[in-house]
Amino acid sequence: MIKENLDYAKRYIDTAITKLETVPDKDTITDLLIALEGIEDLYQQFCVDMDEENGDEPGTAYEHGTDSDFYIEGEWWHDVSVALRKLKEPKDEKPN
């Protein structure tokens, strides 16, 4: 019984170590969140404008979505793309 418990504990620890080795660093995740928050701010303002245009209560388009086109500038998406590429890099290939 003790051997089975030790084997189970070893497998659990090995799995935890593997997961820790593949977790992206905090700075990379932060870069992605900052880029997405920038787009989110623009989308929120877009929805406010849509509500005003349509005579809807503030927050309607943001809460329920809209069928209007919302364009993302290449410059905005570039920041998201850079962060995603960093997340996809194998950990041992990331620059220090």
Write out pLDDT tens, residues 86-96.
Answer: 888 766 555 54
* Tokens at 53, concatenated: 């245009």
Amino acid at residue number 6: L
pLDDT tens profile 6-40? 887 888 888 877 776 777 778 888 999 999 999 99
Q: How many domains does the chain have?
A: 1
Domain around 74: 24-91
Here the tokens at position 37 are 């928050």
Whether residue 8 lies inside any domain: the answer is no
Q: Say whether 58 sits in a helix, a strand or coil.
A: coil
Indicate whether 56 belongs to any domain: yes
Q: Is residue 79 part of a domain?
A: yes
Tens of pLDDT, residue by residue over 28-80, are: 889 999 999 999 999 999 999 999 999 999 999 999 998 888 888 898 899 89
Domain-located, residue 2: no
* Within a domain: 5: no
6 within domain boundaries:
no
Asked whether residue 81 is assigned to any structural domain, the reply reads: yes
Q: What is the SS3 string spanning 14-43?
A: HHHHHHHHHCCCHHHHHHHHHHHHHHHHHH
Task: Answer yes or no: is 59 within a domain.
Answer: yes
